[in-house]
Amino acid sequence: MNMLLLPLLLLQSSLLLPPRTALENPAAVSRVPAKIQKDYDKLWSRFVAAKADSQLTRDLDSLIKKQKTFDPAVTLEAYIELYKGNDAGAAQKFQQAYSLNPGNRIALYYLAELAYAHQDYSQANRFYSLLLSIDNNRTDVEPKRQKALLLATEQLLRSAAVAEKDNRLGDAEELYKQALTIVPNDSTLHLRLADLLAKENKPDEAGLQRKTAEELLPRRTETVRNNPERKSDDLDDLGRWGSDIGVFREIQAAPSVTRERVAAIIVRYFPQVTERPKTPQIVTDIETAWARSEIQTVVDLGLMDTFPNHTFDPSVLVTRGDFATTLARLIQVLGLSPITVAPIATPDVASTNAQYPDIQLVLGRGLMMLQDSGGFGISGDISGQDAIRAAERLLRSFQQAQR
């Protein structure tokens, strides 16, 4: 198997490491030959005791010389490097352990965590994906993989845009192609690469990319091609949604949105909320939901509520009133300062209605608008386009507040 190379990590470790007693014994993922079982057990006990790591490393080296394919010893050396704060050394050892045993889930997990900590999101996504392929019961890994995928795509696209602006067209081409390995079915990205290839005087390659874009999403091609501002917006969309960009397009065109998709919109536009303090809640019906990690996040943050039986009902449509309440709670979580504006008349929503303050807040901020009838339409559906526009407006407001 080809060895996956992790770039040299030069920064001091930013991983939050548990006590050594809480670590999984590498012997749990690889068989220990009976003839060295006692020796290995002693080495593990010495590691857990955290005494004389330098001598322990020398003893492990001696064991590895005798048992060249014994990956638990190499994984144990990687643990030692982690606790020394030597990320580069730890990554090298975990990579060695993985090459010896592609089923070493411990090595894969820490390779992913180290890559993520050092903002190598593409590698983090790759290692998380490999880990899930051999251990799909790791419910903690899929949300991390999705976030790494999103950040990897965004990172590549931002870098490509800068390279193109600086007229480093070869660099931009390579970056766009790397992004396409992550989201191969996005028409916008194929079209962007086609335009770049045309600038590089590569008409045949440009034609192939344009043909691919047209086959993937023919209805949008001409609009995107002739509208540079739309191209920039589409790159932002792709950066947020990654391989789920198709779902985003469906949301945009939908006359109404479900609770699951509202949860996805919130987390994709405001990924920083995943780092906010949460109160874990029990949700019983999202195991097979497409956006289960996003649902869990918005529930734990109190942005959306479960029903009395701890169900979320992902497919239930969201009313305009409930969406306003979710936005109002999100504004509070983001720490945005309140704004003082005169109440906007809402003939269909009395001031005694529990959702009236939330509705006034989103109307005052311009996140949602009154309907043509002059009312708010509290119990009506909200379209996907209106939900996305509201998220975009709130994001701009939040970004301005951060400056």
Question: Domain ranges in the chain?
Answer: 20-137, 148-243, 254-402
Residues in Cβ contact with 26 at an 8 Å cutoff, skipping those fewer than 6 apart: 44, 71, 72, 73, 75, 76, 79, 97, 104, 106
CA distance 321 to 381: 9
Report which of 284, 293, 10 is spatially closest to residue 147, judged by C-alpha positions.
Answer: 293
CATH topology assigned to domain 148-243: 1.25.40
Superfamily of domain 20-137: Tetratricopeptide repeat domain (1.25.40.10)
Whether the domain at 20-137 and the domain at 148-243 fall into the same CATH topology:
yes
> Which residues lie closer than 8 Å to 370 by C-beta, 6 or more apart?
344, 346, 363, 376
Rounded CA separation 34/27 (Å): 12
- What Rg, from alpha-carbon coordinates, does the chain have? 25
pLDDT tens sequence across 92-135: 999 999 999 999 999 999 999 999 988 888 899 899 999 999 98
Amino acid of residue 52? A
* Ranges 80-84, 117-121, 152-156, 272-276, most confident: 80-84
- Per-residue confidence band for 11, with pLDDT thresholds at 50, 70 and 90: very low
Q: What is the pLDDT of residue 343?
A: 87
Half-sphere exposure of 65 (CA within 13 A, CB side): 6
What local confidence, expressed as pLDDT, does residue 268 receive? 92
Terminal Cα-to-Cα distance of the chain (whole angstroms): 48
Query: Is a pLDDT exceeding 70 seen at residue 387?
Result: yes
